[in-house]
A and B are shown apart, each in its own frame.
Chain A
Amino acid sequence: MPKIKLPTKTPHIDMTPMVDLFALLLTFFMLTTTFRPQEPAPVDTPFSVSETPSPDANIMTVVLSADNRVFFNLDNGPDTILHFRPKVLAEMGKRYNIVFTDAELRKFEKYGASFGVNIKDMQKFLAATDSKEREVLEKGIPIDSVDNQMALWVLFARQVNPAVKCLIKGDNNVEYPLVKKVLDILQDKNVNRFSLITSLEVVEVVDAKK
């Protein structure tokens, strides 16, 4: 009697369609993610119940760190050809008689994190190669009335991009007088509508019928 030979085939599953799909998804997610650059100072944002996501473009952010330094950040606008960042920096340079080279302007455009440098140190800041060198220069943007660079940044950001929205990102432990000062500067420049960046928190339901 002949033996029944079982076909010795390994059960291969064709993974090609799966790989196809995965590759597609991977490409999609890779292209849609925008990497947030490392922030110069750690900021613990307070919690709130607000569920509105922050806008992607046309924003300027005032960052208040726990050690009461003020940082500023703005974006390049909804389209990269708009080059809002270098334009604002050039305006600032004009005001302080600093001429920024094209290379410096380009570097500033690419530098995505918020910055807290005096405009007079900006060239040194842009020439710095690693974060340690930068950290020394980041003493916070001056906001006192003698040399209110914060107000000028806000002013020029709004001149270059009139649609810009103001975001405030503060640490839990920032003292109120500093917040008040920043709000005053913004209000002086006719910014009356702000968004505070917060983390989402779940709040227990309030019993109103009690």
Chain B
Amino acid sequence: MAEIIQGDNHKGGKKKAKKHSTHIDMTPMVDLMCLLITFFMLTTAFSKPKVMEIVLPEKIKKNEKVEPPKIADSRTLNIIVGPNDKVYWYPGKADPAALVPLQETDFSATGIRQILLDRNRALFLKIEQFQQDVITGKLEIKQDSVASAIRQLKKDDDTGPIVLIKFYKKAKYKNLVDIIDEMSIVGIARYIITDINWLEEGMVERALGMPVTVSPTAQK
């Protein structure tokens, strides 16, 4: 339309309608779309949080006559998570008559991980070997059955430690996640989160150099 009017105004001269290209410059639109796509791509990829599964042993109700499962002292490793990211551990069972001193360590790679690893080496190596075989193709196994195969390896293991994880009352939630994380890094087959008892609370307080506030009667 505009071209026609323009053409009429020209008198005498060469009647050359100006050629308007019908091209629309799409560059800004492409720019914007690029930006939006990047935004949506990044937000979808990062918004997914990760989860760590834990299973707690079923509680024994008061009126049920079920004995708590018995475990061998020799395989038991007690870990007590203390305040200020400290970790205490002792093997076996706490005996009021002959108290074992608590060993202090921390959450670093050379701390509790090394201790657990020393005790769980056989299983850890077995799992590592299995994963190596899967990656290199030595072992033909479906991707989704890898996890269940590892679970079976853990189930069959009977040399690794049975870890009892206990928390002193001043521990933080972060420590809970950290210690369970250590279990999965090292591949501990059996670990349980249980309540701390008064004896162990006293042991932690003694190790911290605090006055011992607990006694068997104070326990409810």
A48 near B177 with CB under 8 A, answer yes
Contact status B53-A46, CB under 8 Å:
no
**A171 CB to nearest chain B CB (Å):** 7
A64 contacts B173, CB within 8 Å?
Answer: yes
Interface of A is mostly: mixed
Name the contact of A196 in the complex, choosing from B51, B58, B125 (C-beta under 8 A): B51
Contacts of A203 in B (CB 8 A): 109, 185
- Please state if B171 and A196 are interface contacts (CB–CB under 8 Å): no
B33 adjacent to A22 (CB under 8 Å)? yes
CB contacts (< 8 Å) of B158 on chain A: these are none
Taking CB atoms, residues of chain A closer than 8 Å to B57 are 192
Known: A22-B34, A187-B59. A33 touches B109 (CB 8 A): no
Of the listed stretches A85-93, A111-119, A141-149, A174-182, name the one at the interface; the rest are far from the partner chain.
Answer: A174-182
**A26, CB-defined interface residue at 8 Å:** yes
Decide yes or no: A173 and B170 within 8 Å by CB, A48-B50, A199-B49 being known contacts.
no
Please state if B186 and A29 are interface contacts (CB–CB under 8 Å): no
Tier of interface size on chain A = 35 or more
If A29-B40, A29-B44 touch, whether A54 touches B51 (CB-CB below 8 Å) is yes
Contacts A25-B37, A179-B173, A192-B55 known; 20 new A-B pairs at CB < 8 A = A18-B26, A19-B29, A22-B37, A29-B41, A33-B43, A46-B177, A48-B50, A52-B52, A170-B173, A172-B174, A175-B170, A176-B171, A183-B56, A193-B53, A194-B53, A196-B180, A197-B49, A198-B52, A200-B50, A208-B124
Binding site for A on B (CB under 8 A): 21, 23, 26-27, 29-30, 33-34, 36-37, 40-41, 43-44, 47-59, 81, 109, 113, 117, 121, 124-125, 128, 167-178, 180-181, 184-186
Which residues of A approach B to under 8 Å, CB–CB?
A: 12, 15-16, 18-19, 22-23, 25-26, 29-30, 32-34, 36, 45-55, 64, 167, 169-177, 179-180, 183, 187-188, 190, 192-200, 203-204, 206, 208
- Could you list 5 examples of A-B contacts with CB < 8 Å? A170-B173, A172-B172, A175-B173, A194-B56, A206-B109
Give the 10 A-B residue pairs with the shortest CB-CB distance, closest first: A29-B40, A195-B51, A174-B173, A50-B52, A46-B177, A22-B33, A172-B174, A176-B171, A170-B173, A15-B26
